[in-house]
Amino acid sequence: MSETRRKLTTIFCADVQDYTRLMGADEEGTLASLKRCREAMGRLIESHGGRVINTWGDGLIADFPSVVEAVRAAVDTQNELAGFNARRPADGRMLFRIGINLGDVIVEGDDIYGDGVNIAARLQTSAAAGGIVISSTVYDQVRNKVAVGFEFLGPLMVKNVDEGVPSYAVKIGDTRDETPSAERSGPARPQPAPVMAAAKAETTPAPGGHRLYGVLGIIAAVLIGINLLSWQGVFWARFPVLALAVVAALAWNRDQNRFNRKITLLAILALGLAGINIFTWTGQFWAVWPILGIAAVMGLRWSMRR
């Protein structure tokens, strides 16, 4: 039997637009910026459950078990790097192009090979500076799960692949170059009405989180009102209100992209324990020990991700 191992995975490829020009203008400054951007990208990839497989020159390749998390990592990366570039002169900005594909790959050690990787690399070269291009296999998995828009770009021709690979640009805001650099087998066809409607809906952040906060707030207010109107000397509503606050914090952490979700989850747990201790106060702050343990774990995770 063949010892070749294969797996289905999400391939994430990235490189820098005009890297040669940047190096020619300022080698040391460009290398320092590249290192900083790669560290940020690696941190975000890890926080979304991915792993960096390899880096070369200005390029990077990673893979993810989750298609949705791969796209979220790409969006978070471009948003964070946009903030970094906003403080730099226009001709010194380090703009990454990202391509993402879902495909079956050959696994050898820590490396992956095959058409799935080649397609991701080709998608990356077709992306606008500061943009993201995904294959149709990725689009089918994320179209209703990520709060971004999509623009159909048409079939992308890839070496050793007989038919063009349908591709989509991820619309995450103002990209520096809206013209895709790759040649395609024909003009981009108009999107079907359902796809256009989905893209329009996904361009606006999902309102589900706001509705959840509103519902939890109403429930908390009702519980407090019932407690006060039936007052018998005990504020029993404090425990369900604390539970609702924890649920709201967990929902916020699920959707936020600013902080590492695992570290923030530990912080929420620590605050919940502190709240229980305060609401059941008997003269002893027993929560200090589990909170100290949580703080130690948070410190270890922070130092490892750095």
pTM higher than 0.75, yes or no?
no
What secondary structure letter does DSSP report for 206?
A: P
Say yes or no to pLDDT of 171 above 80.
yes
Taking only the tens place, the pLDDT of each residue in 215-264 is: 888 999 999 999 999 998 898 988 999 999 998 888 887 766 566 777 88
**Predicted local confidence at residue 178, as pLDDT:** 43
Say yes or no to pLDDT of 190 above 50.
no
Say yes or no to pLDDT of 198 above 90.
no
DSSP 60-115: EEEEES-HHHHHHHHHHHHHHHHHHHHTS-GGG---EEEEEEEEEEEEETTEEESH
Neighbours of 298 (CB within 10 A): 19
Taking only the tens place, the pLDDT of each residue in 120-155 is: 999 998 899 999 999 999 999 998 898 889 999 988
Higher pLDDT, 301 or 48: 48
Q: What percent of the chain has pLDDT over 70?
A: 81
The answer to which of 94-103, 203-212, 266-275 has the lowest mean pLDDT is 203-212
Output the six-digit token pair for 189. Answer: 């066809």
Taking only the tens place, the pLDDT of each residue in 278-296 is: 988 888 899 899 999 988 8
**Predicted local confidence at residue 73, as pLDDT:** 95
Look at the block and give the residue holding tokens 């992956």: 112
Model confidence at 175, in pLDDT bands (50, 70, 90)? very low
**Predicted local confidence at residue 250, as pLDDT:** 87
Look at the block and give the residue holding tokens 């799960």: 145
Residue closest to 153 by CA, chosen among 130, 129, 175, 132: 132
Say yes or no to pLDDT of 87 above 50.
yes
**Predicted local confidence at residue 38, as pLDDT:** 92
Model confidence at 96, in pLDDT bands (50, 70, 90)? very high
DSSP 135-178: EHHHHHHHTTTSSSEEEEEEEE--TT-SS-EEEEEEE-S--S--
Quote the mean pLDDT of the chain: 82
CA 156 – CA 148 distance, rounded (Å): 22
* Cβ neighbours of residue 154 closer than 8 Å, sequence gap 6 or more: 164, 166, 167, 184, 185, 186, 187, 188, 189
Residue closest to 205 by CA, chosen among 171, 244, 245, 250: 171
The type of residue at 54 is N
Model confidence at 70, in pLDDT bands (50, 70, 90)? very high
Question: Helices (H) and strands (E) in the chain — how many of each?
Answer: 10, 8
Q: Residue 216 class from Cβ within 10 Å (0-12 exposed, 13-18 middle, 19+ buried)?
A: middle
- Helix (H) or strand (E) segment spanning residue 10: strand 5-16
Look at the block and give the residue holding tokens 């296999």: 137
**101, β-bridge pairs:** 11
**Predicted local confidence at residue 182, as pLDDT:** 42
Model confidence at 197, in pLDDT bands (50, 70, 90)? very low
